[in-house]
């Protein structure tokens, strides 16, 4: 049995899609959903999905081994970031080399880095007059959005696109490809 921990800071729609994708797979389970945000929508989703969840604060994440120890106790094989807003600390990075992945709602290396999240990304893509955008699934390192890319999928930016409808089409791509990419990464562990 391969075990996944999902980290999310917000709504958690990707986290839910991932949980659904693996729900009837006997070899893979989403064992825990972790968040830094007590008000994150992902917490309600976790309880509805019957997945154990945990809220942590900045101090325990960056200045203790508490979170690492929980991941170890649960025998987590892969860490999946899905809208998680904080950098992953050194202790977790070194314990999970090539076992932490993220999804970014643009074609990295463009439109990545600190401050490039959610609507900021789509606003920047539209303002720059890009004709295409997409998703990037990548390994996580100590910098925002800079780890090695695993998979990218493109879509067209339409003439009348607003950040909202671009975001919605990007989400559809994410739902389709993130779970499959996770499955692929798990087979290579
Ligand atoms: C997604 O667009 C993802 O690419 C980005 O954050 C967003 C999370 O959305 N990293 P949700 O919380 O899964 O709905």
d(CA 95, CA 72): 9
75 & 107 share domain: no
With respect to residue 187, please indicate whether it lies within any of the assigned structural domains: no
For a pLDDT cut of 90, what percent of the chain falls above it? 99
Between helix 13-22 and helix 163-187 the angle, nearest 10°, is: 40
How many helices (H) and strands (E) are present in the chain, helices listed first?
7, 7
Residue 177 has what pLDDT?
98
CATH code of residue 126: 3.40.50.170
Query: How many domains would you assign to the chain?
Result: 2
Angle, vertex CA 176, rays to CA 124 and CA 150, nearest 5: 70
95: annotated active-site residue: no
Yes or no: say if 78 and 7 are a contact pair by the CB < 8 Å rule.
no
Cα–Cα nearest to 137, from 95, 170, 88: 170
Q: Residue 164 has what pLDDT?
A: 97
- Domain identity same for 165 and 76: no
82 and 51 inside one domain: yes
Q: Which of 64, 97, 130 is the last residue of a domain?
A: 97
What pLDDT does 157 receive? 98
* Residue-level pLDDT at 146: 94
Predicted local confidence at residue 11, as pLDDT: 97
Determine, yes or no, domain membership for 188.
Answer: no
Same structural domain for residues 14 and 69?
yes
> What confidence score (pLDDT) does residue 14 get?
98
Which run of H or of E encompasses 121?
Answer: helix 119-127
Whole-number Å distance, alpha carbon 12 to ligand 1 midpoint, is 7
Per-residue pLDDT, 76: 98
pLDDT tens for each residue of 34-90: 999 999 999 999 999 999 999 999 999 999 999 999 999 999 999 999 999 999 999
Are residue 84 and residue 14 in the same domain, yes or no? yes
Q: What is the mean pLDDT of residues 158-169?
A: 96
How far apart CA 156 and CA 161 sit, in angstroms, is 10
Rounded distance from Cα 186 to ligand 1 centre (Å): 21
User: CA-to-CA distance for 106 and 116, rounded, in angstroms?
Assistant: 10
Atom of ligand 1 nearest to the CA of 15: 13
Higher-pLDDT residue of 31, 114: 31
Report the predicted TM-score, pTM, of the whole model to 2 decimal places. 0.97
Task: Provide the Cα torsion 96, 39, 23, 189; round to 10°.
Answer: -10
Q: Which of 20, 52, 95, 104 is catalytic?
A: 104
User: The domain containing residue 110 runs over which residues?
Assistant: 103-178
Whether residues 169 and 138 share a domain: the answer is yes
Quick: pLDDT tens for 91-117.
999 999 999 999 999 999 999 999 999
Domain shared by 76 and 151, yes or no: no
Residues 138, 91, single domain; the answer is: no
Residue 107 shares a structural domain with residue 72: no
Domain end, chosen from 97, 118, 138, is at 97
């Amino acid at each position: 049995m391969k075990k996944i921990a999902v980290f999310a800071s917000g709504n958690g729609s990707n986290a839910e899609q991932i949980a659904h994708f693996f729900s009837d797979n006997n070899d893979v389970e989403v064992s825990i959903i972790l968040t830094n945000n007590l008000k994150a929508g992902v917490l309600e989703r976790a309880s509805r999905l019957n997945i154990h969840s945990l809220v942590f604060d900045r101090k325990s994440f960056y200045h203790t081994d508490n979170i690492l120890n929980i991941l170890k106790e649960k025998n987590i094989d892969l860490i999946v970031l899905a809208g998680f807003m904080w950098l992953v600390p050194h202790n977790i990075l070194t314990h999970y080399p090539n076992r932490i992945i993220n999804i970014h709602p643009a074609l990295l290396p463009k439109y990545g880095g600190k401050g490039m999240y959610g609507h900021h990304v789509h606003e920047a893509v539209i303002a720059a007059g890009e004709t295409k955008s997409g998703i990037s699934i990548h390994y996580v390192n100590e910098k925002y959005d800079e780890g090695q890319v695993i998979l990218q999928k493109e879509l067209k930016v339409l003439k009348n696109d607003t950040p909202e409808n671009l975001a919605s089409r990007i989400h559809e791509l994410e739902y389709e490809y993130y779970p499959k990419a996770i499955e692929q990464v798990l087979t290579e562990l």
